[in-house]
């Protein structure tokens, strides 16, 4: 019988990160549906604009045959001229320009509402996805989904359609209908040409979709690589890597440039195939019109109507053709975005019977097994940490210390076994609620590019300045904050670049304390600090840890000596468990680590 700890569903989610494949329209329909009536109105206005264009196209034929009387001027020629002129003007202003503008305004408003909904949904999905997904996917690629090429391709297609696709379609069909009434042979030639062009459009759409999808995959890879190069500016300067980075950037640019050239040339070739059919059709139309006129089947006005209509239809057909080409790119973009929207988390919140996280309690792991992509990291870890105890996790690099912390935070779920807080299995709780019970101080805390106040309020958005000052004083951070000209309103650089390492750590501790969590987790919090800063952080840690459960992941002796208990992790197991003195007095890995100065006084 399977237990809750076996994580059957989670394993399947990890192996099959995407749901059933969906088409592009199926993906975007939830964003179209709330706007469908506004879209239908806009399409109707745009379509009426197309009928007005047809009226304009046929005006020359009516002028020759009706107003000018096919060369025999009628006595009421000026009355007819006035009627045709007024009709042309009214249709052009109200039927074409006004309807077109109103339709475009509606299309534009709907576009922004749909884009906002799609971006918000995508961002919520990113926040909901597990750490396993984010480790495998570059932040540069995800950013491009929100504001880069994929979304721009969708916007470009939508913009193109909103400007004139509905009008282009009605222009083509209404013009063909009227021409059919005039002469079916010439209309058949025109229709054959249009049919061949539509066929080539559909063929070009499928080809262009493959071309753009191939390009976008390379673009995402290049974007991620360049984003990494930009994020690593500090390391580049420290290690004098400027030349190497410039070479890598140049190689990425050459790759994207070559692929862009290949994409554009291939798309242009598809367009030339369609144009060739158009030229052949017009040549055939010239000969056919001359033949039908010589047989007195059509008038000179109708000849001008056919020839002018054929030439004027190139505009609407171009719009339709471009829409097919743009749809190929937009479809590829929608499907790429859809892959992320369909991705499933390996740490999903329970859909039903969600349990609250106890406000405080013991921490327990029962026979926990865990692996990253088939690589075992933890092999049957069992431990119990009573509430209020300070515990250090030590061991060689890669032994599983940080993995234990990530399982406690429910950034991952175990493959087998269970992690409990206050006796409650964490898989039955929402991940965000689990993490509210922990105040985490990592080795390299992330400091947002904003004010100190806003950085601290990340833990408690409702905290007032008095609460912020108390937390900062407790964390020994107020002493440098009050010296700043703007104090809490002082802005820090990207990643906290205007602060020292010790100041960033003290801010991180203050941020963790502001939420008043029952558990504090220090993950290598002092490993990158100088001796003076480390001593100050140790004083802070001793002050803030009283009355809480404290977990410390560390290599340095000074950090773990005062802990109630030390757990030695090795090869994914708890190899030793005891106080500092007891473990150092016995032969074992802990003593070897101390003597080997992997734990440094």
User: Pairing relation of β-strands 416-421 and 363-372?
Assistant: antiparallel
Domain ranges of the chain: 20-342, 363-595
Q: Cα-atom radius of gyration of the chain, to the nearest Å?
A: 35
pLDDT of residue 10: 38
Q: Which residue stretches of the chain have pLDDT < 70?
A: 1-23, 65, 67, 69-71, 138, 140, 146, 148-149, 194-195, 197-198, 201-202, 205, 234, 236, 238-241, 314, 493-497, 525-540, 556-558, 597-601
CB 24 within 8 A of CB 334: yes
Domain 20-342 class?
A: mainly alpha
3 state DSSP class of 451: strand
Which residue, among 228, 6, 79, has the nearest Cα to 139 in the 3D structure? Answer: 228
Secondary structure, 3-state, 245-299: HHHHHHHHHHHHHHHHHHHHHHHHHHHHHHHHHHHHHHHHHHHHHHHHHHCCCCC
Helix (H) or strand (E) holding 577, with range, is strand 573-578
CB 200 within 8 A of CB 277: yes
pLDDT of residue 532: 57
3 state DSSP class of 373: coil
pLDDT of residue 384: 92
For 187, list phi and psi in degrees, rounded to 5: -65, -35
Architecture of the domain delimited by 363-595: 3-Layer(aba) Sandwich (3.40)
Buried b (16+ CB within 10 A) or exposed e, 78-115: eebeeeeeeebeebbeebbeebbebbbebbeebbeebe
pLDDT of residue 17: 46
Using the Cα atoms of residue 237, residue 243, residue 247 and residue 253 in order, give the sign of their dihedral: positive
CB 379 within 8 A of CB 573: yes
Which residue, among 298, 285, 320, 65, has the nearest Cα to 171 in the 3D structure? Answer: 320
Residue found by looking up tokens 């290598």 in the block: 524
3 state DSSP class of 89: helix
User: Judging by beta carbons within 10 Å of its beta carbon (0-12, 13-18, 19+), is residue 399 exposed, middle or buried?
Assistant: buried
Which residue, among 351, 366, 343, 518, has the nearest Cα to 428 in the 3D structure? Answer: 351
Helix (H) or strand (E) holding 550, with range, is strand 549-553
Distance between CA atoms of residues 399 and 22, nearest Å: 41
Q: Distances in Å between the alpha carbon of 26 and those of 51, 114, 216, 499?
A: 31, 15, 21, 48
Distance between CA atoms of residues 427 and 354, nearest Å: 9
pTM attached to this predicted model: 0.62
Distance between CA atoms of residues 601 and 595, nearest Å: 11
pLDDT of residue 221: 76
- 243 DSSP 8-state letter: H
pLDDT of residue 369: 92
Residue 237: count of CB within 10 angstroms of its CB? 11
CB 492 within 8 A of CB 447: yes
Domains 20-342 and 363-595 share a fold: no
Distance between CA atoms of residues 446 and 103, nearest Å: 47
Distance between CA atoms of residues 512 and 457, nearest Å: 10
Integer distance in angstroms from the first to the last C-alpha of the chain?
A: 50
Helix (H) or strand (E) holding 433, with range, is helix 431-435
């Amino acid at each position: 019988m399977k237990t809750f700890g076996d994580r059957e569903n989670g394993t399947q989610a990890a192996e099959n990160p995407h749901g059933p494949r969906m088409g592009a329209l199926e993906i975007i329909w939830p964003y179209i549906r709330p706007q469908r009536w506004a879209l239908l109105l806009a399409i109707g206005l745009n379509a009426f604009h197309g009928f007005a264009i047809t009226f304009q196209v046929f005006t020359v034929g009516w002028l020759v045959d009706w107003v000018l009387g096919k060369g025999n001027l009628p006595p009421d020629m000026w009355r007819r001229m006035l009627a045709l002129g007024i009709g042309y003007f009214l249709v052009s202003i109200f039927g074409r320009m006004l309807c077109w503008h109103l339709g475009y305004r509606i299309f534009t408003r709907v576009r922004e509402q749909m884009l906002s909904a799609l971006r918000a949904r995508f961002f919520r999905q990113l926040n909901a996805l597990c750490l396993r997904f984010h480790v495998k996917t570059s932040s540069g690629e995800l950013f491009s989904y929100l504001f880069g090429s994929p979304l721009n391709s969708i916007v470009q297609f939508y913009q193109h359609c909103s400007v004139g696709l509905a009008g282009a379609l009605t222009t083509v069909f209404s013009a063909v209908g009227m021409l059919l009434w005039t002469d079916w042979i010439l209309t058949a030639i025109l229709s054959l040409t249009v049919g061949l062009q539509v066929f080539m459009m559909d063929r070009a759409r499928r080809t262009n979709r493959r071309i753009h999808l191939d390009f976008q995959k390379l673009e995402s890879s290049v974007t991620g690589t360049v984003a990494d190069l930009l994020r690593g500016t500090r390391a580049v300067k420290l290690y004098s890597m400027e030349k190497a980075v410039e070479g890598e950037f140049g190689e990425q640019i050459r790759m994207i440039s070559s692929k862009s050239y290949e994409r554009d040339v291939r798309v242009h070739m598809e367009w030339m195939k369609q144009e060739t059919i158009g030229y052949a059709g017009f040549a055939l139309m010239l000969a056919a019109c001359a033949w039908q006129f010589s047989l007195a089947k059509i008038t000179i006005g109708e000849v001008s109507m056919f020839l002018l209509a054929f030439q004027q239809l190139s505009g609407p057909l171009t719009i339709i053709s471009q829409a097919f080409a743009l749809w190929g790119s937009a479809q590829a973009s929608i499907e790429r975005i859809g892959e992320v929207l369909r991705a499933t988390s390996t740490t999903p919140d329970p859909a039903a019977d969600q349990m609250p996280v106890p406000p405080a309690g013991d921490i327990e792991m029962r026979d926990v097994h865990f692996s990253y992509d088939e690589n075992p990291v933890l092999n049957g870890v069992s431990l119990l940490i009573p509430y209020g105890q300070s515990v250090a996790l030590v061991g060689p690099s890669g032994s599983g210390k940080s993995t234990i912390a990530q399982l406690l935070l429910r950034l991952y779920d175990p493959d087998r076994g269970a992690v409990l807080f206050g006796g409650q299995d964490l898989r039955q709780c929402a991940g965000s609620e689990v993490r509210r019970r922990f105040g985490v101080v990592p080795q390299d805390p992330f400091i947002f590019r904003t004010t100190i106040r806003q950085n601290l309020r990340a833990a408690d958005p409702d905290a007032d300045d008095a609460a912020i000052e108390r937390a900062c004083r407790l964390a020994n951070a107020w002493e440098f904050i009050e010296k700043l000209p703007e104090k809490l309103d002082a802005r820090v650089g990207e990643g906290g670049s205007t602060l020292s390492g010790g100041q960033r750590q003290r801010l991180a501790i203050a941020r963790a304390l502001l939420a008043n969590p029952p558990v504090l987790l220090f993950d290598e919090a002092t490993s990158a600090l100088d001796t003076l800063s480390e001593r100050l952080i140790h004083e802070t840690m001793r002050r803030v840890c009283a009355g809480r459960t404290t977990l410390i992941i560390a290599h340095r002796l000074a950090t773990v000596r005062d802990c109630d208990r030390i757990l030695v992790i090795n090869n994914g197991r708890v190899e030793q468990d005891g106080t500092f003195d007891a473990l150092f007095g016995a032969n074992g890995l802990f003593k070897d680590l101390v003597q080997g100065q992997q734990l440094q006084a």
